[in-house]
């Protein structure tokens, strides 16, 4: 694989860290090429964004047609058909209980919007004492200060703590780590009941909402709770009048093999949904909050929603999003995500024999993760100094596969890597991905003496 040359141009850009990668040239399907001719499989769909794959001609054509008409029309001056059509399509796909859509341009904006609509609903309905939003630890809901206040990721939040209102957190349902005599279903109830205990401890009339990722993203490594967790959480939220928010920024738009990650548990339906990433599939920045009429109408009746972003619902991003959803339907990509996800999951499970340091394989559809541990019996994490989560990414990158990884479990421990290719992946391409993963684990095992 060609590496970044030493003759790189100096950069005025900066991101989170100083690491540099080769400049991108072009991308098509599940592949990306750099300017040195290196081709890699996009095994993480960017950051779990490009659900329908790169450079889909149907989407590009829809965008070009919209570009020739109008790229931007401000919502206070004009309504636009692509935004209307996309809103209708999203409500159809979300199903009963979601009649209203509020567009934004990304995931943090989507979760922030949920918090603010929930708060304004409380104010509009005489529940001004409710403002606390309970979330889980670990979790990730975005990097703006509101979204960060509900994010369970200490290292990201700590420097900004004085600038945020501290929000209560309960443990994420890491039932796979528990070494007790309970069944998985009993553990699910136990974790859900932690929500009830927290609501009571905080004072139910102060609690506005509970937010969770139905299938976890990078912060937990595709954490899925036992089935019993979801309906029990719903029951508790209803009992205390707490608004249940599903953050589907990563798990939504078909990635888990259903349109919404939460669709795997019909008994756990939320009141608000935050969407982004896959609904725009990287063709345009796009996000949305899906809401019920009963929550939106009182807010509109009391003077309106005090919130909005300049680019929200712009015609170009909306046309892209609409075409993305049409491609998903026409090509049965959600079905393919379910099928290919099963295959990859089984293959990852199968690697446990050869690589006993794979402690857990989890996720749904094509939102999958493997956790690397020192001892699969005790699930003891690998020593942090080995940096296994970063090494596996770098090794695979050099072999032509992009994967995503994190340390997890809420503290600074527990390495996992995620396998989340575009939902168009074919069985032959799955073989290609798995061959590189196997090779990379082999190198990792030798390098770290695992």
Q: Where are the beta strands (DSSP E) in 106-157?
A: 132-137
| Binding residues for ligand PLP (CB under 6 A) | 47, 106-108, 111, 140-142, 213, 217, 247, 249-250, 276
**Nearer to ligand PLP (CB atom), residue 222 or residue 386:** 222
Are 389 and 407 contacting, i.e. CB atoms less than 8 angstroms apart?
Answer: yes
**Nearer to ligand PLP (CB atom), residue 169 or residue 190:** 169
DSSP designation for 382: P
User: CA geometry: angle at 97 spanning 304 and 281, to 5°?
Assistant: 85
User: CA geometry: angle at 355 spanning 354 and 360, to 5°?
Assistant: 120
Q: Which residue minimizes CB distance to ligand PLP?
A: 107
User: In angstroms, what is the minimal distance from the CB of 109 to ligand PLP?
Assistant: 7
| The pair of three-digit structure tokens given for residue 448, joined into one six-digit string | 């770290």
User: In angstroms, what is the minimal distance from the CB of 262 to ligand PLP?
Assistant: 13
Tell me: cis bond preceding 388? Omega within 30 of 0 counts.
no
User: In angstroms, what is the minimal distance from the CB of 110 to ligand PLP?
Assistant: 7
Q: Where are the beta strands (DSSP E) in 144-267?
A: 169-171, 207-212, 243-247
DSSP designation for 29: B
Buried b (16+ CB within 10 A) or exposed e, 73-93: bebeeeebebbebbbebbbeb
Closest by CA position to 251, among listed 232, 289, 278: 278
**Nearer to ligand PLP (CB atom), residue 42 or residue 247:** 247
Helix count and strand count (H, E) for the chain: 13, 16
**Nearer to ligand PLP (CB atom), residue 53 or residue 142:** 142
**Nearer to ligand PLP (CB atom), residue 282 or residue 315:** 282
User: In angstroms, what is the minimal distance from the CB of 181 to ligand PLP?
Assistant: 33
Q: How many whole angstroms separate alpha carbon 202 and alpha carbon 276?
A: 31
Q: What is residue 408's three-state secondary structure?
A: strand
**Nearer to ligand PLP (CB atom), residue 355 or residue 421:** 421
Closest by CA position to 401, among listed 153, 62, 40, 20: 40
**Nearer to ligand PLP (CB atom), residue 108 or residue 113:** 108
Q: Which helix (H) or strand (E) holds 401?
A: strand 401-402
User: In angstroms, what is the minimal distance from the CB of 372 to ligand PLP?
Assistant: 21
User: In angstroms, what is the minimal distance from the CB of 284 to ligand PLP?
Assistant: 12
Q: 3-state DSSP: the chain helix, strand, coil percent, rounded to 5?
A: 45, 20, 40
**Nearer to ligand PLP (CB atom), residue 106 or residue 315:** 106
C-alpha pair distances (Å), 310 with each of 74, 105, 147, 274, 329: 8, 9, 19, 18, 30
User: In angstroms, what is the minimal distance from the CB of 140 to ligand PLP?
Assistant: 5
Strands 31-34 and 24-28: antiparallel
**Nearer to ligand PLP (CB atom), residue 43 or residue 142:** 142
- Bridge partner residues of 418 (DSSP): 369, 404
User: In angstroms, what is the minimal distance from the CB of 105 to ligand PLP?
Assistant: 8
**Nearer to ligand PLP (CB atom), residue 108 or residue 440:** 108
Residue 207 has phi, psi (to 5 degrees) of: -95, 120
User: In angstroms, what is the minimal distance from the CB of 409 to ligand PLP?
Assistant: 17
Query: How long a stretch of residues is the chain?
Result: 450
**Nearer to ligand PLP (CB atom), residue 249 or residue 388:** 249
Virtual CA dihedral for 271, 274, 280, 282, nearest 10 degrees?
Answer: -160
- Bridge partner residues of 102 (DSSP): 289
| The pair of three-digit structure tokens given for residue 146, joined into one six-digit string | 């509101």
**Nearer to ligand PLP (CB atom), residue 120 or residue 276:** 276
User: In angstroms, what is the minimal distance from the CB of 81 to ligand PLP?
Assistant: 25
User: In angstroms, what is the minimal distance from the CB of 238 to ligand PLP?
Assistant: 23
User: In angstroms, what is the minimal distance from the CB of 250 to ligand PLP?
Assistant: 4
């Amino acid at each position: 694989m060609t590496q970044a040359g030493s003759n790189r141009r100096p950069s005025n850009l900066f991101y989170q860290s100083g690491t540099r990668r080769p400049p991108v040239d072009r991308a098509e399907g599940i592949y990306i090429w750099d300017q040195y001719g290196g081709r890699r499989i996009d095994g993480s769909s960017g950051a779990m964004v490009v659900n329908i794959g790169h450079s889909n001609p149907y989407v590009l054509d829809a965008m070009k047609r919209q570009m020739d008409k109008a790229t931007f029309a401000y919502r206070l001056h004009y309504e636009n058909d692509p935004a209307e059509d996309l809103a209708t399509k999203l409500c159809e796909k979300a199903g009963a209980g979601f009649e209203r859509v509020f567009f934004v341009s990304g995931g943090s904006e989507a979760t922030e919007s949920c918090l603010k609509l929930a708060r304004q609903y409380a104010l509009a309905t005489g529940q001004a004492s409710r403002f606390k939003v309970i979330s889980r630890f670990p979790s990730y809901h975005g990097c703006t200060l509101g979204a960060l206040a509900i994010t369970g990721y200490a290292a990201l939040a700590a420097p900004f703590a004085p600038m945020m209102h501290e929000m209560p957190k309960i443990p994420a349902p890491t039932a796979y780590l528990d070494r007790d005599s309970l069944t998985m279903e009993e553990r699910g109830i136990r974790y859900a009941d932690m929500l009830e205990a927290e609501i009571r401890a905080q004072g139910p009339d102060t609690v506005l909402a509970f937010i969770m990722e139905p299938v976890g993203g990078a912060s937990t490594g595709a954490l899925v709770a036992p089935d019993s967790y979801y309906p029990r959480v719903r029951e508790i939220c209803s009992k205390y009048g707490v608004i249940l928010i599903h953050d589907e920024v990563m798990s939504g738009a078909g990635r888990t093999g259903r349109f919404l990650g939460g669709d795997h548990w019909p008994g756990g339906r939320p009141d608000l949904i935050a969407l982004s990433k896959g609904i725009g599939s990287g063709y345009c920045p796009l996000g949305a909050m899906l809401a019920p009429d009963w929550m939106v109408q009182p807010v509109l009746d009391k003077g309106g929603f005090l919130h909005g972003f300049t680019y929200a619902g712009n015609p170009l991003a909306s046309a892209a999003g609409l075409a993305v959803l049409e491609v998903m339907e026409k090509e049965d990509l959600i079905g393919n995500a379910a099928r290919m996800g099963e295959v990859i999951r089984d293959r990852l499970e199968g690697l446990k024999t050869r690589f006993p340091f794979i402690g857990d394989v989890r996720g749904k559809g094509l939102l999958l993760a493997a956790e690397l541990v020192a001892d699969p019996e005790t699930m003891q994490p690998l020593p942090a100094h080995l940096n296994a989560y970063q090494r596996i990414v770098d090794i695979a990158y050099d072999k032509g596969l992009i994967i995503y990884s994190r340390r997890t479990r809420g503290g600074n421990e527990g390495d996992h890597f995620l396998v989340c290719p575009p939902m168009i992946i074919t069985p032959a391409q799955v073989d290609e991905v798995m061959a590189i993963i196997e090779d990379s684990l082999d190198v990792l095992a030798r390098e770290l003496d695992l």
